[in-house]
Amino acid sequence: MVLRLLPAALLTVLLLVIPAKNSLLAAESVEVVDVEGQPLGANVKRLISALDYLGAPLSDELVQKLTVASEQRNARQIQKLLDPEVLCVVSLNPEVRTKVARGPAQAVLQQGGFTPFLIKVINQSTVTRQLQISSPQAGAVYSGAALNSLKRQAQTELNQNENKQSASDRFLEVELFQASPMTVRLSGLECEYVLALIYCHESGKREATLGFDVGAGTQDIGFRGEVPILFTVKKAIPVKLAIRDFDGKPTAARLQFRDQQKRVYPLQAKRLAPDFFFQPQIYRQDGETVLLPAGELEMEYSRGPEYQRLTRKISVSASEPQTVEVNLQRWLNPRDYGFYSGDHHIHAAGCAHYDNPTKGVTPLDMFKQVKGEGLNVGCVLTWGPCFDVQRQFFSSSADRVSEPLTILKYDLEISGFGSAALGHVCLLNLQNQTYPGTLGTVKGWPSWTVPVLRWCKEQGGVTGYPHSALRVNPPQAAIRMINDLDRDQSESINADEAGQGLLPKTFASIDEDGDGQLNEQELTRALEQSADELPNLAVPEMNGGGAMEICVSTAEGVCDFVSAMDTERIPEWNTWYHILNCGYPLKVSGETDFPCMSSRRVGQGRVYVNLGDVDEVDFPEWCRGIQQGRSYVSDGYAHALEFQVGGQSPGFEEVQLKEPGKVEVTAKVAFASETPRAVAYGLLDPPEGKRAVGDTRVLHAPRNSEYVTGGERLVEIVRNGEVVARKKVPADGQVHDLKFTVPVSQSSWIALRQFPQLHTNPVNVIVDQRPIRASRESALWCAETIKLLWKNRHQKIAERERPAAEETYQRAIQSYLKRAQEATP
């Protein structure tokens, strides 16, 4: 066997670090190679500028010497000046194989920040590929995040290189600085310098391995493409935060720190609780600390959408303890009007949370999120994937981390087990979280929602359905309508056949060609149009995971609310409108379903409950406010601080009229002068059309951090689902008084909305003591959804439970049909 020796290294990559003053260098030497001086000098000038930009400039003496050498095109002198700083030497042969060896520079890092390094490339192979750096000590410290959640939020990069093996030595992050004035690819010059950055979130002595390549399969055999280096990591000095609320009292805040390259600190890949890797921001309470890199950073600070979003520059010392003052400012305080905000649907595990190293996070971790977003109430709901672990935090009262004006309460979402196939449900203010016969497990729970809701209400709880959008699929709905109604097998629907079902629009408006038949294409177009309207009569597919059984449970009197503000607004509100039109007292509440729907922050959807002037939030009373509808829902950037119909506020007394007449509607509304530019807030048009506006579950557009300043918001008064008055109001952060006169010819419900950001609960106006029966079509729509749900999902109900479920479904259908007959034509 003949061994062939590889040729000497033809491409050498040298990693250099800017040393501390009087630092001792290792003994290894660095090869000086022949290269033309002019292009090397130009490369070094760009390098000097890049280091200045990064806040790690070379010494004035070294810059002066390099400038002279560059002007003289003295390539050997340039190398002699920089080569003493080499940390490691990487060689690439003509067969594109890399080899790495240790260089002479001192390996010193600063905890919590990126330390700049130089890479010297000696390139006789003229390769112009992108150079890459890697390390087995780099990568995320967490694992277990749900990929689907990250996909919907366009954050799949956070799912890369997860710590699936529970490695304890992922303390490093490495990258190459390839922004201007540096370049992405090697130039092909025999020698050039490239800039790398290395981060460490631990301190002390840490050995790490650095690897280099210019593409897959280019590292040399026998581990010669990587080198172990013992780093000395200087301990960062924690920065203390003095956080003051608008009134000067200590509080918590949402904070985001970025350097000049817009990198977020602490690095998201290195975050474990209480900091979440899927959020760019962190939350801290007054007096707590954060590890930040030395130098100048931009700090953005706020405390939820009712506060101003402020930014300022801070300078972080590498050697002296310091305190950063964070002074928060509100633009509005709903508490001045008796309203207390909450998010009734938050998770501490599952979805985007990591399973490793923990199965979710603790009450204290979630409390910081809730308080840092300015919420008065946060309901943390234990659900299927984390049931066994998270149920330990349940209590019949508010968690002990709670404060008088910030309440944390653990309750349940039935999701991932039990009745989830017939719709998820939120169970609030539970006294007992163990369903009879289940022994504290997810086994043995009912397979449909009505028994679970009834169990909750029997113990004084409050019930509702989350992420409630019931979506329409126009092509499928058109086919379904023909299959159900086409009795003469003509593959179309005539007027007689149409009378046996519920059309999305009038027969004449759908029959575009006037032939007296509705074909599949005509029905599809009508359904497409209807899906973008509010209200509409398009029957949804009834095959999702939200408010599936809501028409059944509302008829049974065991459902208190429908959730809004996290899924698409038209299908959320459309279901609610139809049930209200039937005279059922269903209320609306606001939620986020954090972090499953939106992982950016809790309270992206909120409910504001009217408790009056109180110094302490009573959680059961707050839940009763949801149940009674003494509230409005919002994204926090839009507010109905007062809304009255005939002098009555939502959730209190009904307005009584002896005969048809007019009622006076008054309101105080306010809209933030700065609102995120996104589909969720109605300030970005989704490609799917109006039916997707308001959705937080999917971005529908590229992620951005832009805000829209000013503009106008259209406030509408809704009577039985139809707009009867409207007025434009400036988004200027001020409270505006509104007044309308609304005619009422029959018993009706009246509410205020600003699509898609705001909706009040309704005030009922009762005429001549008659119940609300506002729409025959609404009652038929509810009945049709129940029929379709039974057809689609009855097999999901356990066989032993199916007879009782069928009886309940039929009873609900008959209830709606009876109300359809009672409705005003």
Q: Which residue type occupies 594? A: F
User: Taking Cα atoms as reference points, which of 419, 15, 404 lies closest to residue 197?
Assistant: 15
pLDDT tens digits, residue range 523-551? 999 999 999 999 999 999 999 888 999 99
In this predicted model, what pLDDT tens digit does every residue of 91-130 receive, in sequence order? 878 887 888 888 888 899 999 999 888 888 888 778 889 9
Cα-atom radius of gyration of the chain, to the nearest Å? 32
CATH superfamily, domain at 638-673+710-772: Immunoglobulins (2.60.40.10)
pLDDT (mean) for 773-779: 97
Q: What percent of the chain has pLDDT over 90?
A: 78
Measure CA 775 to chain center: 37
The whole-number pLDDT of residue 813 equals 98
* CA separation for the pair 784, 804 (Å, rounded): 20
Q: Helix 60-71 crosses helix 75-82 at what angle (to 10 degrees)? A: 160
Cβ–Cβ < 8 Å for 289, 238: yes
Q: Which residues have C-beta within 8 Å of that of residue 815, sequence separation ≥ 6?
A: 555
User: Residues 6 or more apart from 177 whose CB is under 8 A from it?
Assistant: 50, 54, 116, 195, 196, 197
How large a percentage of the chain has pLDDT more than 70? 96
Report the DSSP beta bridge partners of residue 265: 257
Summarised one tens digit per residue, pLDDT across range 547-587 is: 999 999 999 999 999 999 999 999 999 999 999 999 999 99
Q: How far apart are CA 760 and CA 708, in angstroms?
A: 24
**In angstroms, rounded to a whole number, what is the distance separating the alpha carbons of residues 26 and 507?**
87
Band (pLDDT 50/70/90 cuts) for residue 714 is very high
Separation CA 7–CA 12 (nearest Å): 13
The residue behind tokens 């292009």 is 39
3-state DSSP call for residue 617?
Answer: coil
Check if 239-330 and 472-539 are the same fold.
Answer: no
pLDDT band at residue 214 using 50, 70 and 90 as cut-offs: confident
Distance separating alpha carbons of residues 472 and 544, to the nearest angstrom:
11
Number of H helices, E strands in the chain: 16, 38
- For 321-360, strand residue ranges (E) read 322-327, 339-346
The CATH fold assigned to 339-466+544-636+775-825 is TIM Barrel (3.20.20)
Q: Which two tokens stand for residue 194?
A: 């490239």
Fold of 472-539: Recoverin; domain 1 (1.10.238)
Spatial distance between the Cα atoms of 26 and 87, rounded to a whole number of angstroms: 9
- Cα–Cα distance, 380 to 805 (Å, whole number): 29
Which of these ranges, 102-106, 172-176, 232-236, 723-727, has the smallest mean pLDDT? 102-106
Structure tokens belonging to residue 157: 């990069």
How does DSSP assign 668-700, residue by residue?
Answer: EEEE-SEEE-SGGGTSS--TT-GGGTT--SS-S
For 151-170, how does the pLDDT look when each residue is reduced to its tens digit (9 = 90+)? 777 777 777 788 888 888 99
What is the model's pLDDT at position 5?
A: 30
Structure tokens at 740: 């309308």
Beta strands of 167-309 (E only): which ranges? 172-177, 191-200, 204-213, 226-234, 239-244, 252-258, 264-265, 282-285, 289-290, 295-302
**Token representation of residue 788:** 């379709």
CA distance 305 to 636: 5
| pLDDT tens figures, 42-53 | 999 999 999 898
E-strand ranges in 330-376 read: 339-346
Q: Whole-prediction pTM value?
A: 0.92
Topology of the domain covering 239-330: Immunoglobulin-like (2.60.40)
Alpha carbons 406 and 303: distance in angstroms, whole number: 13
Mean local confidence (pLDDT), 203-211: 94
User: How many CB atoms are located within 10 Å of the residue 49 CB?
Assistant: 14
Q: What are the strands, taking DSSP E only, across 83-143?
A: 86-92, 98-102, 108-110, 114-123, 132-134
The confidence score (pLDDT) of residue 223 equals: 66
Name residue, tokens 């951005």.
704
Average pLDDT over residues 357-385: 95
Mode of pairing for the β-strands spanning 114-123 and 132-134: unpaired
Task: Give the integer Cα–Cα distance in Å for 539 and 731.
Answer: 35
What pLDDT band is residue 221 in, cutting at 50, 70 and 90? low
| Angle, vertex CA 623, rays to CA 785 and CA 302, nearest 5 | 100
The average pLDDT across 413-434 equals 97
Domain ranges of the chain: 11-146+162-228, 239-330, 339-466+544-636+775-825, 472-539, 638-673+710-772
48 sits in the region (left: phi over 0; alpha: psi -120 to 50; else beta) called: alpha
pLDDT at 150: 77
